[in-house]
Structure 1
Amino acid sequence: MNPAPPGAAGERVGRAAMRKTMWRILPFLLFAYLVCYLDRVNISFASLEMNTDVGISDSAYGIGAGVFFVAYFIFEVPSNIALTTFGPRLWIARIMITWGIIAGCMSLVRGPLSFYVLRFLMGVAEAGFFPAMILYLTQWFPREKRAQATATFFMAVPLAGLIGSPLSTWLMTVLHGVAGLRGWQAMFVIEAVPSVLGGIACLFWLVDKPAQATFLTEPERAWLVAELESETGEVSATYRHQHSILRTLLRPAVLYMALIYLGLEFGEYALGFFLPQMVQSFSDQFGTHLSLMQIGLISAIPSAVGVCCMIFWGRRSDRAQERTWHIVIPTLIGAAAIAASPFFSIFFIGMVLVSVTAAAIYSSIPVFWQLPSRYLVGTAAAVGVAVINSVGNLSGIIAPSLTGVLKDATGTYSAGYILIGVFLLFAAGGTLALHRETHRAPSGEPATSVSRASRSEV
């Protein structure tokens, strides 16, 4: 491979390489995560009818929503190790196809037991998908573009709410009775199809690494490979022990990041799995009857606010090359907003506060995912990212289960709102603790050897 041209010519080549890479990779990753997340949380809309149809209580629903993450936790690290063996293109395609098939089988739920089993199998199928995507982004986007790229990819989460909320409730309404299916059953089948087709398309569209990218010219490939290798070398020189998987698991920075993500994801999943029910409870509280479509449209509002905020916040973090306060500030705002929401008796104010919290969570998570690449490369990066995501996704077990149990016990979601605020405070405190930890020297090195880039980004 010929070296990239130097000087101004090199800058032009770099800009062209980034532009082509963004247009080639990000739309597909955005689509893939959109259909993934929609298949993961569309049970929140199905539950408006499914729970009554098959006899699932709020507590049983919360447990079933969380069972997905038990499987996710168990199989995440093995899945990401398999990714390094088979390559991103093949492994991501496998994940999408298998989870799509099982997502369609959710239409076969007949009671709590079948609900639990199918949710567990979905977790097995999808395990490793998100960390695979995060790792893939680090292999294609240099540091100064990574938060923006991650925010664009993660935009799939609020878009799943923005698009999926009205789409899911519309499908449940118009397809009710078609082929003898209930509306929620038809919705599961229809929304599973894009996942399977996307997995097949993945085999032909994604490229495993920049050196194989035929959509780039030779100088563009050389520039991108050189940029990424330079960053990898910098991390390897600063954290020489990072190739040890065991030491990766035990490093304080990895443990801090796992706990921070646990706090952030608690809020995301509590809202993701219960927002339609929360909207319905708001309407019941204030004596307003809402149809399925109206619940879907209102549930999309927090996602719309999140889409607007997260891209701006990711770009701002990239421009400032600062991560800590770009995580701490929104999480503190989100914690205050959601904890205050039960104390207002006006529907509009309640939805504004929930929307602020959603925007805060969606803005924080893409910035958070810039932290692991500061300390981990190679197999250790695959394992580290998987561990962080696995521990964080334990909130997928805790959040819906606790929210459902608290709702059954108290009759309202107020305690659940306050609990979200507590976990966001936990994430903010963990981020500050991580910042302090990363200003200490890596094991066996003087403090002055910590790279300048590590300090500026963290």
Structure 2
Amino acid sequence: MSTTTSRELLESPVLKAAISKAAKRLMPMLVILYVVSFLDRTNVGFAEAALKTDRGVGAGAFALGAGIFFIGYAIFEIPSNLLLKKIGAKIWLARIAITWGIVSACFAFVQGETSFIVLRFLLGVTEAGLFPGVIMFLADWFPNKVRVQMFAIFYLAQPFSQIIGNPLSGWLINIGDQIPGVHGWQVMFLVEGSLAVLAGIAALIFLINGPEKATFLSRAEKDALEEIMALENVVKDETGPRGVWAAMRNGKVWYFTVIYFCLQVAVYGVTFFLPQQVASLTGQKVGLAVGLLVGIPWFFGIFACYFMGKAATTIRRRRNMGGILFASTGLCIFGSAWAGTNHQPVLGLIFITLAVCSFLAVGPITWSYPTAFLTGTAAAAGIGLINSLGNLGGFVAPILRTAVNEAAKSPTGSAGVYALGVLPFLAAAMMFYTRRFKNKADELL
């Protein structure tokens, strides 16, 4: 099929109707899955001080536990993706949510540093494959031209989880502290882990493995969607790596792994310590009030993520927007560190808000690149590799931040924040350099 014909197909009213129906049916469930996922991996920030007081989990053990999640995640990521390809996204994504929800609820029974670290590792093992599984799922359902928009909608789960989850976590801690014989942080882990189990059960009902099985689409809509996706897969198969080992040796896959690693250092370096950072800026104790303030950056992040994703409709826009947003992330992290050192809480919150907006908006743009040249088992392996090794940034970030603060003897913790802001600039340079890449699939935009 010619490029002209493919573009005509993309403008087809039937295809547009199919895409609209698929988005309305699938995206809410995927967002819910990621909301509870992101909540369960980051709510530990609300329990940091309480775990130290009640269970003797020190700063070093907390940093190790916060980061070791990503070791378990990285080890089981690619096997999980390959199993998803074999079993189907519907069952596998539901299994992931149910098992990680059970592990998350078990944090209520932490007895000390060892059990905390073990559970964090198991949380990573059970959640492995969710994010890349959804990325592959969306790449099977939506053509390249609109995929960034779908990724952006999926990414909205991160700010939603923080807007809803941070006040919820703070509220559950406050309520739980009123129950005799129970700590507030225990109630938080039990309730939020149970939400993941319920989300997994719902996924069995609402997710569908492919357009052919979608009863909500007409025959013409199924044909139109399958035709454009088949065309893209042919292009990917012609120009991209074939098979698991070819994907894992592919230079572009490793290139985007480095970019994603830089992004995750920024994301989790900010997210894990955000409640404590806001509490330090405002002079308040972590609880409902801090939870509400922490929700502010994520609220604005919703709009940044959605509108940037909607605007990134050409390869040139994606490249330029991606580079600018990565640079903005680094600058704003630096700004938040400066505000903390100089006791400027309002400026600090503004810089944190801009940093969150930047790294949320650049995530969907980053994922549009590998999904444009990976398909089949190569996609399972390549996307899994990018996400698993890239997510090691979440392991490195808290350890790096803590180590720099201790080495610099930083009373405000700003030295560690400055360290986190360096890598986004590397990602910005690498994103601009992608102008030298040639990818036939980009012709379908």
TM bin (shorter chain): over 0.9
Q: Does 1:418 align with 2:428?
A: no
Q: Does 1:310 align with 2:298?
A: no
Q: CA deviation at 1:66?
A: 0.6
SS in structure 2 at match of 1:363: helix
Q: Is the 8 A contact 1:104 1:191 kept in 2?
A: yes
Q: Output one character per residue of 1:98-145: Cα deviation in whole Å (capped at 9) or x when no partner.
A: 000000001011111000010111111001110001000001111111
- Secondary structure of the corresponding residue to residue 56 of structure 1: coil
Cα distance in 1 for residues equivalent to 2:276 and 2:59: 10
CA distance in 2, matches of 1:235, 1:425: 30
> 2:442 is matched with which residue?
454
| Residue equivalent to 1:190 | 191
* Distance in 1, Cα, partners of 2:131 & 2:414: 30
Q: Supply the distance in 2 between the matched residues of 1:30 and 1:177 (Cα, whole angstroms).
A: 32
Q: Counterpart of 2:320?
A: 325
- Give TM-score scaled by structure 1 length: 0.91
Taking the aligned partners of 2:218 and 2:42, their CA distance within structure 1 comes to 40
Name the counterpart of 1:201: 202
Could you tell me how far apart the structure 2 residues matched to 1:428 and 1:22 are? 30
2:397 pairs with one of 399, 403, 423? 399
Question: Which residue in 1 is equivalent to 2:4?
Answer: none
Tell me the equivalent position of 1:445.
none
Distance 1:56 1:86, change over 3 A: same
Moved beyond 6 Å, runs of 4+: 6-10
Cα pair 2:315 2:442 within 8 Å, conserved: no
Counterpart amino acid of residue 442 in structure 2: S
1:243/1:268 Cα in 2 relative to 1: closer, same or farther (>3 Å)?
same
Q: Counterparts of 2:318 and 2:10 in 1: how far apart (Å)?
A: 31
Asked whether the 8 Å contact 2:243–2:376 carries over to 1, the reply is no
**Superposed CA offset, 1:357-394 (max 9, x none):** 11110000011110112211100011100000011111
Q: Deviations over 1:399-457 (max 9, x none)?
A: 01222333444232212221221011121122234443x24xxxxxxxxxx52x43787
SS in 2 for 1:215: coil
291 and 247 in structure 1: CA distance in 2 versus 1, 3 angstrom threshold: closer
Task: Specify the code of the residue in structure 2 equivalent to 1:375.
Answer: F
**Identical pairs, percent:** 36
CA drift at 1:177: 4.2
CA contact (8 A) 1:144 1:321 kept: no
Report the counterpart of residue 275 of structure 1 in structure 2: 274
Tell me the residue number matched to 1:168. 169
Give 1:221 shift: 0.6
Which segments of 5 or more consecutive residues in structure 2 lack a partner in the other structure?
Answer: 1-6
Contact map agreement 2:332 2:354 (CA 8 A) in 1: yes
Moved more, 172-181 or 73-82: 172-181
Q: Give the whole-Å Cα distance in 1 for the aligned partners of 2:69 and 2:9.
A: 51
Cα 1:455–1:212 change in 2 (3 A) is closer
Query: What is the distance in 2 between the residues matched to 1:108 and 1:353?
Result: 37
Change (3 A) 1:259 1:135: same
Amino acid at match of 2:397: A
TM score, norm. by length of structure 2: 0.93
Secondary structure at the counterpart of residue 104 of structure 1: helix
Distance 1:264 1:10 in 2: 34
Contact 1:61 1:404 survives alignment (8 Å): no
Structure 1 residue 76: deviation in Å?
0.5
For 1:424, the aligned partner's letter is: P
Alignment length, in residue pairs?
434
Aligned-residue offset at 1:320: 6.8
Unaligned runs of 5+ in 1: 1-5, 440-449
Structure 2: distance between partners of 1:215 and 1:99? 30
Instruction: Identify the range of structure 1 (164-173 vs 335-344) with the bigger mean alpha-carbon deviation.
Output: 335-344
Counterparts of 2:13 and 2:433, CA distance in 1: 40
Contact 1:403 1:416 in 2 (8 A): yes
Contact 1:29/1:133 (8 A) holds in 2: yes
CA RMSD, Structure 1 to Structure 2 (Å): 2.0
Q: CA deviation at 1:289?
A: 3.5
After superposition, the Cα gap between the structure-2 partners of 1:10 and 1:149, relative to the gap in structure 1 and judged at 3 Å, is: closer
Give the structure 1 partner of residue 432 of structure 2: 432
Answer yes or no: is 1:253 the counterpart of 2:252.
Answer: yes
Q: Distance in 1 between matches of 2:238 and 2:246?
A: 16
1:299 alignment partner in structure 2: 294
Is it true that 1:374 corresponds to 2:372 in the alignment?
Answer: yes
Matches within 5 A, 1:145-184: 145-178=146-179, 180-184=181-185
